[in-house]
Amino acid sequence: ELWVSLEEHQDALELIMSKYRKQMLQLLEGRKREEAEPVLKAHQANSGEIESQIDRICEMGEVMRKAVQVDDEQFFKVQEKLAQLELENKELRELLLISKESFEVGREDLPD
């Protein structure tokens, strides 16, 4: 009788322990979710902030690219104008030299 009673108590104890383990697992899973939820919300908020910063950086990069493009175009226009002015200056100097030579030749031909 003692042996049978002991087995019944062990079976009951095993049933109680299995229910206890099951409830503890559920409680721990619930706590993990509750503990993880604020961290998840903070992480999501952080991700949103980082995403908006990345968008602003991309916009600034696009503005900088356009500024460089405009600056390059302006630089090429100035270079072209400078080359044109240098060419005109060279031609004018040649004309001035021809004019001086012509004037000197004209003075030599005049009688004293």
Is residue 109 predicted with pLDDT exceeding 70? no
Q: Rounded distance, CA 83 to CA 91, Å?
A: 12
At which residue do the structure tokens 């991700």 appear? 47
Quick: pLDDT tens for 48-103. Answer: 888 889 999 999 999 999 999 999 999 999 999 999 999 999 999 999 999 988 88
The H or E element containing residue 83 is helix 2-109
Q: pLDDT per residue over 15-32, tens digit each?
A: 999 999 888 888 777 777
Predicted local distance difference test score (pLDDT) of residue 110: 63
Residue 58 and residue 70: Cα distance in Å, rounded? 18
| CA 102 – CA 59 distance, rounded (Å) | 64
